[in-house]
């Protein structure tokens, strides 16, 4: 039996086998592609959710930084006389430590959850000094100074932290 006779005799079978093999390969490739596509979609969704969360946190940190600046502006006295210096401003703050304490407490209630530990600690220290200054006879100016300086430091750290971030 020659080669051409064998091919002509078995060609339908060979065609069926080749077609079956190609179908299996195509089916396997399609399954692999579907699995790959599903994994890509899942990974894409994961990154989309992470991006949305980052944008939300970024916005809340901006709000916390802006509100801390507002808080500091509220407790910083305006010039009451020409050439008013830092010590005179601290003395003015010391006269209203009860209100300052309340403002800081309200700020922490609104923003503590988004602030990092260092900033929270600085603002809590500021609140502590405001609270202590309400009750101290001689050291209330020292406590007011500590209170104010801790807030300024917290604002500086928070602003640098926020500006140093990037969503992308």
pLDDT tens readout for residues 61-84? 899 999 999 999 999 888 766 777
Asked if the structure places residue 63 within a domain, the reply is: yes
Q: Residue 84 gets which letter from DSSP?
A: -
Q: Give the C-alpha separation, 15 to 109, whole Å.
A: 77
Asked if the structure places residue 31 within a domain, the reply is: yes
Q: Give 137-154 pLDDT, tens digit per residue.
A: 667 889 999 999 999 999
Q: Residue 79 gets which letter from DSSP?
A: P
Asked if the structure places residue 168 within a domain, the reply is: no
Q: Give the C-alpha separation, 69 to 72, whole Å.
A: 5
**Containing structural domain, residue 59:** 3-163
Sorted by sequence, the CB contacts under 8 Å of residue 15 that are 6+ apart come out as none
Q: Tell me the two tokens of residue 133.
A: 């200054």
Asked if the structure places residue 27 within a domain, the reply is: yes
pTM above 0.75, yes or no: no
Asked if the structure places residue 62 within a domain, the reply is: yes
User: DSSP per residue over 98-112, as a string?
Assistant: HHHHHHHHHHHHHHT
Q: Tell me the two tokens of residue 118.
A: 């260092």
Asked if the structure places residue 26 within a domain, the reply is: yes
What is the total count of domains within the chain?
1
């Amino acid at each position: 039996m020659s080669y051409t006779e064998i091919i002509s005799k078995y060609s339908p079978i060979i065609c069926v086998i080749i077609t079956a093999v190609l179908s299996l390969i195509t089916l396997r490739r399609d399954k692999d592609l579907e699995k790959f596509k599903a994994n890509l979609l899942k990974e894409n969704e994961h990154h989309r959710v992470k991006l949305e969360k980052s944008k939300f946190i970024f916005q809340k940190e901006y709000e916390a930084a802006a509100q801390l600046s507002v808080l500091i502006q509220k407790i910083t006295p305006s010039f009451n006389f020409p050439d008013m210096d830092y010590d005179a401003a601290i003395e003015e703050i010391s006269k209203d430590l009860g209100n300052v304490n309340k403002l800081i407490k309200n700020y922490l209630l609104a923003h503590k959850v988004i602030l990092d530990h260092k900033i929270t600690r600085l603002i809590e220290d500021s609140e502590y000094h405001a609270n202590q200054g309400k009750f101290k006879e001689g050291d209330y100016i020292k406590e007011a100074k500590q209170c104010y300086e801790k807030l300024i430091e917290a604002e500086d750290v928070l602003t640098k932290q926020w500006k140093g971030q990037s969503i992308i």
